[in-house]
Chain A
Amino acid sequence: MEVIKTKKTFKKFDYKKSNKLFERAVEVIPNGIYGHFSPAPLVPVSAYPFYIESAEGSKITDVDGNEFIDYMCGYGPMVAGYKNQQIEKAVLEQYKKVDTATGAPEVMVELAEELVNTITIADWAFFAKNGNDVTSYALMATREHTQRKKIIRLKGGYHGTHPWTQSPDHPGIMFDDAENIIMGKWNDIDDLKRIIKENKNKIAGLISSPYHHTIFFDNEMPDDGYWQEVEKICKEEGIVLIIDEVRTGFRININGANETFGFKPDLICYSKAMANGYPISALVGTNEIKSSVSKVFYTGSFWFSAVPMVASLETIKYLKANNGVEKMHQYGKKMEDGLVQLANKHGYDLKVTGHPAMPYYRITDDPTLKLHQRWCAECTQRGAYFTSHHNWFMSTAHTEEDLKLTLDIADDAFNALKL
């Protein structure tokens, strides 16, 4: 790729309206904006908008009228572009018919069939709203299936915010909440064997993302043979293998990230990208565990809403018809090549880890992250929304024009670091 040579400069954004809205928000909402959208991890906060007015394609526009190429994609859900015509058309038609009603919608069956036909290990699908709904359901089903208590999860892994997913030193979490959770280590087979030996016939399941996409740290791919060994051990020990694809789902491999890494889990959790921004999650699994899943009572007021199901069905169809995963992979790789070259040109080492469709970037020249935070902030204030603590997300809506503009912005931002 040819790196942009012309010196283009960009006017930096300001966020007056966002800031005023936030001042109102803190009066009536705990933290103003809570959870993963909290401005707190954005460094410096002054470089980022808080409130979004509109979005289309790959771009978001904040309440101050600043337009950004969105490389967070709503922290994952937007996969086929904001206001994707095919998806929005189907959504609108469903809205006209029914959304939440007394009874399940017809599309629920179609969506389950689509997931079973798409995800290689799936014999069935169960629907909820958020990722945490299905990671927690997976644990309940696993315990019912094995009649065992303990669950292995890996240090640095993220599976939501329910008490079992958090460390007991966090506010609102008790030691009791983690009583049956054993912390393992990513890519460490010996550690897994030790845990199993120390808890013989007590471990119900192991939950992990398909690769290690922690925040603040370089992401790690599985070592050669890692997943195959984990799968073998789990089978031998009667441990249910649960893969949390809430973040990776439909970006790494449409048939399941496990196909990319060559193994077969028993259960997979999906949400985020599965409906291009509409609220839905799914647990899919094999027939071996289906009857246990059926026994566990689990539901929610809005889990039968038809609109998100239609959105999901159309999203999956759209991704398949447009080679969506491959497109995101290619865009991510081109961007990686361009940004790394630009960084080199300016004398920096930009390290990229994780999958090209959801890469984690870090300027290694300053291990404190201060330099990387400055660069991400300078890019964001010029219109390429980059976070410094979290992996980014590609979508099928990102275009060659977006890429060119992104590289121009990044070039100008690298120049700004020297001021």
Chain B
Amino acid sequence: MSIEEKIKAGVNLYAVIKNIEQLVILDPEIKELVKNWNISIEFRVKNGPVASVRFKDGSCDVKRGKFDKTNVVLFFMSEAHLNKMFDGNANPIPLKGFTKLGFLDKEFSKVTDKLEYYLKPTPELLEDSNYLKINTIFTLTTAVNALPVIMEFDPKAKLTGSHLTKGSLFINVENGPNAFINTDTNYIEVTEGNSETATCEMIIKDISIANKFFSGGVDIFSALAKQDIKIVGQTYLLDNIGLILDRIPIYVN
């Protein structure tokens, strides 16, 4: 299996679908749709990554691995098979939950369609402030959760991972979303934290700049000098995280 397929599958499972947790909160239509769902779905790749999505009492949890009780298991023969499904060009092999196939086809697909809508912006869509906000949140979530996957498989990012030291990075968009990352040598973990506990901080002036930055539309050095983005603390940590972030577009559109 190629490195590209492995990384893409990891990003799809561990980073992209992580956004469903926020989607059920931020999008009124989806919020209404899932409010009575009580179901967990496992995505399992043969000799590869596993991730699960659980809907309960109107909220959603997405995690690596499996929940104790899974209603539906969707199996994929390979990372490439999974990636094709995410591209809309293949179907999974249901291993468990045959009675839920209709639900998956008609109801769950509304969630994934909406996720795709928010993750594939157009200039027109980004003019809407609510869309801009949600797209920014999703892009940040995808980026930080993609970091461990990229570091595990991408040869350059793997080398960068070996240069990482013990520390923590808080990325904060003023009046917007934030993310917290713990690091150590060959280790990145997305977790909870704040400015006080971070050894390095990146503060982004507003949602609009954050959106451009996370989508690669802002030159970081110029943004720093213009103070659209501020960094403080152990900024060498950000140098390394930045190198891994730069690798993401190679594998993910």
Contacts and interface: CB of A to CB of B under 8 A. Distances in A.
Chain B CB within 10 Å — which of A41, A50, A168, A169 has the most? A169
Chain B CB within 10 Å — which of A38, A40, A370 has the most? A40
A210 B221 CA distance: 31
Contacts of A30: 219
Contacts of B222: 26, 31-32
A102 interface: no
Nearest to A371: B233
A45 B156 contact: no
B199 A367 contact: yes
Contact of A26 (B160, B219, B236): B219
A368 B225 contact: no
Interface string B209-230: 0000000000111101111001
Contacts of A43: 231-232, 235
Interface residues of B, number: 26
Nearest to B236: A216
B232 A26 contact: no
Contacts of B227: 44-46
B121 interface: no
B163 interface: yes
Contacts of A33: 225
A32 B220 CA distance: 11
A175 B158 CA distance: 12
A368 B233 contact: yes
Contacts of A32: 221-222, 225
B95 interface: no
A169 B156 CA distance: 5
Contacts of B157: 169
A33 B243 CA distance: 20
Size category of the binding interface on chain A = 20 to 34
A203 to B, nearest CB: 22
B225 A50 contact: yes
B143 to A, nearest CB: 17
A31 B220 CA distance: 8
B158 to A, nearest CB: 8
A168 B220 CA distance: 20
A22 interface: yes
Contact of A169 (B198, B219, B225, B243): B243
Contact of B243 (A19, A26, A170, A368): A170
A45 B227 CA distance: 7
Interface string A27-51: 0001111100011110111100010
B221 A38 contact: yes
B246 A369 contact: no
B159 interface: yes
Contact of B220 (A19, A40, A169): A40
Contacts of A216: 234-236
Contacts of B220: 40
A189 B222 CA distance: 42
A169 B232 contact: no
B48 interface: no
A19 B228 CA distance: 12
Contacts of B97: none
15 contacts: A30-B219, A38-B225, A39-B225, A167-B159, A169-B156, A169-B157, A171-B246, A175-B155, A215-B236, A216-B234, A216-B235, A368-B198, A369-B235, A370-B233, A373-B232
Task: Give the 3 A-B CB pairs with smallest separation, nearest first.
Answer: A31-B221, A39-B225, A169-B159
